[in-house]
Structure formats: structure tokens, C-alpha cells
């Protein structure tokens, strides 16, 4: 039986899964960033990815800016969008029940989709190529160049964010606020500003993720569906765990790739939700989540 098994194919599928998992991990990090600091479950994470991808499309394709300018412009514009969302929709609800803020993010998702369809229509569009196109061969395994370079970019951004938040003052303030808001206030940390910072960084990370995902599969107003897989990743890893987001991203990427290859594309979602249910039955707060997470 084992003689007829194609190990090279398994290796190839696994590599693709791990690379896709890198993209999930980056988007999940954007989610965890907001949840950790503000305890807001941002359901609109997929739509924020979409907004970043469309901003890049606008700068690069419609306004014909050079790519080295269009990508940072899209990321910074997304950060501004994150700040506006936090200031106008999230901050007025400080102290309200979690379900109120949760429902606001559900509404935000619909608003972002509506705006995209009004401005850019619902048609599928292609992003300009900005990644190398030579095939990537590792051993006998072939990896799609966009998936490989997308994963590399995601890994670089994840590492950069972790380093910045480890050593930068704003990052230390965010970590302090995440562990105890009352204590953060008492030592003079401007907690509302930290909340704003977490939304800005989250929106910028989501934009990077959206640009990569959009360059691989094109962009459309239904891109937010990617956020569903990101939510699965975050819940599996633990809503407030950065390590959980990274590990679960790779796990879910692998599960999706293997299910798609050996069972068929229609089983991808089923496989990921089976993993989700199994993890939650064993560890209700996720693989690395803390036990104090509130129930919505």
C-alpha cells in the first residue's frame, strides 16, 4: 500500500498548506491585536482585508501610481480607516455589553461591502503583479510563486510586528493594556490612544494580508469570505493569543490543503470546522487562549 503512495505529492500539498497558513496567521494577528487590547470581537476582519486590497487597486491601477508608492499608500490609508472606525464606531461603545460592540462590527462588515460595490462595483478585478513569477521548486515539489512569496511577505511582517511590539514603547503600552486596563490607567498609559493604535495596526496588517490574497486570487466584493477562515483560525488558536494565531494559521492552512487535495475542494470548509469543533470540545478557550474569555 505504502509503495503506491505519492509522498512527493503529499510534500507539495503540505508546503502549499503551510504557505497559505502564513497568510491566515497574518490576518489572524490583525484580529488578535484588536481583541487583546480592546476585547472587541471584530467580525469585519475579512472586509477590512478587502478594503486594503481595493485601496491598493485604486492607487496602482486607477491612479497608475508606481507599486513602491501604491502599496505603502494603501497600507497607510487602511490604517487611517482603522482609526476612523475606532473613533466613530467603537469608542462611543466603551463600557457597553460585548454583544453591542460585536453587532457594530457585523454592521461594519456590511457597510464596507456596500461601499466597495458602490465605488468599484461587484465585478471581479485583478491586482497588478508585484511578486516574482518564476516557479518555486523545493526538492521535487512545485510551489506557486505567488503563494510562496505571499507567505514570505507574511512571515516578514509577522516577525516585524512581534519585534516592534516587544521593544517599542507603544507596543509595551499595548501589552500592558491587554493584561490589565485598570493598572495601565494607573501608571499613566493613555488607554483610549492604545485602543486607537491597536485598530490602526490591525487595519494595516489586514491591508497587507488583503493585498497578498488579492494578488493570488483576484479581488471582489465577496473577498470578506476569507475572514470566515480567519475567524476559525483565531478561535482554534485562542482569541487573545498571538502564538495561537500563528500556530492555528499553519494548522488550518495544512488541513484545508490536505482536505482539498485528497477529499475534494468542497470538503475544505467541512474539514476546518471539524478541527474547530474538536479543539473547542477539548479546550473551550482555544489551543493557547486564556480561560477568562467572556462568552458573547
Report domain extents, the chain. 9-282
Per-residue pLDDT tens, the chain, 296 aa: give them: 445 678 888 999 999 999 999 999 999 999 999 998 888 899 999 999 999 999 999 999 999 899 999 999 999 999 999 999 999 999 898 778 889 999 999 999 999 999 999 999 889 999 998 888 888 888 888 888 999 999 999 999 999 998 988 888 888 888 888 777 778 888 888 888 889 999 999 999 999 999 999 999 899 999 988 888 899 999 999 988 899 999 999 999 999 999 999 998 888 889 999 999 999 999 988 899 877 655 55
Look at residues 145, 116, 131 and name the one whose alpha carbon lies nearest to residue 53: 116
What predicted TM-score, i.e. pTM, was given to this entire model?
A: 0.91
Q: Decide if domain 9-282 falls under CATH 1.10.357.
A: no
Name the nearest CA neighbour of 164 among 188, 200, 191.
200
Place of cell 507539495: 12
Q: Enter the C-alpha cell of residue 50.
A: 478587502
Amino acid at each position: 500500500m505504502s509503495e503506491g503512495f505519492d509522498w512527493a505529492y503529499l510534500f507539495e500539498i503540505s508546503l502549499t498548506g503551510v504557505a497559505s497558513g502564513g497568510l491566515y496567521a497574518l490576518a489572524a494577528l490583525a484580529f488578535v491585536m484588536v481583541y487583546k487590547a480592546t476585547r472587541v470581537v471584530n467580525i469585519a476582519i475579512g472586509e477590512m482585508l478587502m478594503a486594503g486590497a481595493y485601496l491598493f487597486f485604486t492607487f496602482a491601477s486607477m491612479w497608475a501610481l508606481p507599486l513602491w508608492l501604491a502599496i505603502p499608500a494603501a497600507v497607510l490609508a487602511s490604517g487611517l480607516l482603522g482609526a476612523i472606525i475606532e473613533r466613530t464606531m467603537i469608542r462611543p461603545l466603551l463600557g457597553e455589553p460585548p454583544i453591542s460592540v460585536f453587532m457594530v462590527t457585523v454592521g461594519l462588515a456590511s457597510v464596507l461591502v456596500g461601499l466597495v460595490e458602490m465605488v468599484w462595483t461587484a465585478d471581479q478585478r485583478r491586482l497588478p503583479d508585484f511578486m516574482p513569477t518564476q516557479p518555486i521548486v523545493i526538492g521535487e515539489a512545485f510551489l506557486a510563486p505567488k503563494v510562496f512569496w505571499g507567505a514570505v511577505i507574511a512571515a516578514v511582517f509577522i516577525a516585524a510586528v512581534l519585534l516592534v511590539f516587544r521593544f517599542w514603547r507603544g507596543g509595551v503600552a499595548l501589552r500592558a493594556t491587554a493584561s490589565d486596563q485598570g493598572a495601565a490607567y494607573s501608571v499613566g498609559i493613555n488607554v483610549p490612544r492604545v485602543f486607537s493604535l491597536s485598530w490602526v495596526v490591525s487595519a494595516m496588517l489586514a491591508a497587507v494580508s488583503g493585498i497578498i490574497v488579492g494578488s493570488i486570487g483576484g479581488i471582489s466584493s465577496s473577498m470578506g469570505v476569507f475572514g470566515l477562515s480567519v475567524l476559525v483560525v483565531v478561535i482554534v488558536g485562542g482569541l487573545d493569543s498571538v502564538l495561537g494565531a500563528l500556530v492555528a494559521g499553519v494548522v488550518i492552512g495544512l488541513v484545508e490543503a490536505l482536505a482539498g487535495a485528497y477529499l475534494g475542494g468542497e470538503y475544505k470548509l467541512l474539514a476546518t470546522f471539524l478541527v474547530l469543533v474538536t479543539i473547542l470540545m477539548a479546550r473551550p478557550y482555544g489551543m493557547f487562549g486564556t480561560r477568562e474569555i467572556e462568552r458573547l
